[in-house]
Each structure stands twice: as C-alpha cells, then as structure tokens.
C-alpha cells in the first residue's frame, strides 16, 4: 500500500510517521514538498506518487493569526483539502483528513456532527 503523508513536521504528522511506516510504502512531505498555501500545487504531489491513501495532517494552526491572515488560512485549511479530495477521487485513493477542535466552542452537550459547523 502506498501512503502519502502531508504535514510530516507538525505534531500530528510526526506521530503519524511512526504509526504509518509499517503499513506500506510511506512518502512524507512537509512544507518544502507540499505548499498548502498554493493548493493547486498539491495536484502534482498526489499524481507523482499515485497513493492508495492520502493522510493530511497539514494545517494553518495559528488561530489568532488566522483572523488577520484569513486568505492564507482559507487556502491552507479549506481549499487545499478540497484539492486533495478531488485528487483522491481521481486516483481512487482514500483521504484521511485531520482537523481541529477550534471550530466549536465546546458548549454543546453531546457529540458534534458535521452540520454543527
């Protein structure tokens, strides 16, 4: 199985490297190999490797700065995962996308669902 891990240098990505390595051929990319601020550039990363699974642990995580740099946050956290989803569908790969709990304020009783966003 070919696994493409994006965001290898972050906290989640670093842990995923160890967890995913035994499962197959693992290609790991950080900022230097996958520019999430330029979402269209991700297409070439996916196509060059033709993975069976894409694991996205990359994100714009500077919560306070995201308000003043909303354009970059939008490209990294919304548009780039959309490109990955399109490419995963095109090559028949699974897409695993890690997200954040900062979307919700934590006041809901019970589990959150996608429509709560």
67-100 residue pLDDT tens: 788 898 898 888 999 999 999 999 999 999 987 6
Please count the structural domains in the chain.
1
What is the pLDDT confidence band of residue 104, given thresholds at 50, 70 and 90?
Answer: low
- Asked, for residue 114, whether it belongs to a domain, the answer is no
24-75 tens-digit pLDDT: 999 999 888 898 889 889 999 999 999 999 999 998 887 778 778 889 889 8
What pTM was computed for the model?
0.83
- Asked, for residue 22, whether it belongs to a domain, the answer is yes
Range of the domain at 27: 2-102
Instruction: Tell me how far apart the alpha carbons of residues 115 and 64 are, in angstroms, rounded to a whole number.
Output: 24
Place of tokens 């230097």: 32
- Asked, for residue 109, whether it belongs to a domain, the answer is no
Side-chain half-sphere of 89: how many Cα atoms within 13 Å? 6
- Asked, for residue 111, whether it belongs to a domain, the answer is no
């Amino acid at each position: 199985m070919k696994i493409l891990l994006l965001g290898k240098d972050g906290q989640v990505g670093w842990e995923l490297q160890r967890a995913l390595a035994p499962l197959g051929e693992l290609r790991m990319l950080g900022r230097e190999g996958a520019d999430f601020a330029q979402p269209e550039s991700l297409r070439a990363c996916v196509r060059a490797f033709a993975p069976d699974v894409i694991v996205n642990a990359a994100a714009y995580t500077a919560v306070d700065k995201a308000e003043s740099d909303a354009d970059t946050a939008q490209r990294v956290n919304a548009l780039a995962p959309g490109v990955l989803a399109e490419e995963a569908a095109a090559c028949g790969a699974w897409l695993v996308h890690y997200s954040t709990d900062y979307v919700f304020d934590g006041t809901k009783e019970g589990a959150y669902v996608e429509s709560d966003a």
